[in-house]
Structures are given as structure tokens and as C-alpha cells.
Structure 1
């Protein structure tokens, strides 16, 4: 999701870096390392659920709202 896979265009890398910074602003408890290891929306939801002590439903709603309009 936020991690870089190699062979990506400069535009994709720039977009992912922007999303990573935006996610860190939104969820201050997530580290750069946390975000760089997340590969799927499910992993992000689970990390938000655990770190923020939210229900799975609420974490998914929060992630969905944050992801709206973003292309991963």
C-alpha cells in the first residue's frame, strides 16, 4: 500500500510518499516504519484498530473515509 515495490514511476513514488505523510498526520501514533510495511487496506485497518483501541467496524470506517479519492 505505502511500501515501494521497485519499477514504479516517479509519479507513483511521489504519490505514495504523500499518502504516507498524510496518514502520519491523520494517525499520529503510526510510524514511518509501520506505514512502510503495510501492504493492504486490511493491514492498515488492523493496525488502526489495535493502536487506537477501536472496534473493527470503526477502524474500517475511519480508513475508508481517509482513503476516499486516493489511488493506491
Structure 2
């Protein structure tokens, strides 16, 4: 499997793909400063936090808190 939180390598189950697409859509809806290309670069939660902080001028501690809340219960 591709080494990316939001990426696919092929052969993933339909359930996994549906969950992944749902997570992508959710992030893009909440963070319009991000795009699909930016998400494919994200491999870890820390990178997602930094990308959100950098693209939205949100202080890193706030981005960390937001991502932690958003990721609660999600499986990648």
C-alpha cells in the first residue's frame, strides 16, 4: 500500500476506499485551503497538522488540536 494517509496503491477493499474518500472529502470541506494534491503528500498526522497550519495561517497548536479531534476514531 502507498505510504500516504490519503493515498491508494491499488487492491484496497471497497470499504477502505469509501472510508478514505469520506475522510478526504471531510478534510477538504473543513479546510478549503487544502486540495487533493496536498493531501496525497501527507503521510502522517504531524504532516497534516503542519500543512493545515501553513496553508491556513492557523497557529500550529490550534492545528494540532483540530487534527487530533478530527482524527479521533478514524482508521487509515
TM range (shorter): 0.7 to 0.9
Task: Return structure 1 stretches of 4+ with deviation > 6 angstroms.
Answer: none
Q: Identify the match of residue 65 of structure 1 among 44, 63, 69.
A: 69
User: Structure 2: where are the runs of 5+ without partners?
Assistant: none
In 1, Cα distance between equivalents of 2:9 and 2:66? 26
Give the equivalent residue in structure 2 for 1:16. 20
1:54 CA displacement: 2.0
In 1, Cα distance between equivalents of 2:42 and 2:68? 15
User: Structure 1: where are the runs of 5+ without partners?
Assistant: none
Give me the TM-score of the superposition, normalised by structure 2: 0.84
Q: How does 1:1-72 map to 2 (within 5 A)?
A: 1-72=5-76
Structure number having the greater helix percentage: 1
1:15 CA displacement: 0.7
Give me the TM-score of the superposition, normalised by structure 1: 0.88
In 2, Cα distance between equivalents of 1:50 and 1:5? 27
1:6 CA displacement: 3.1
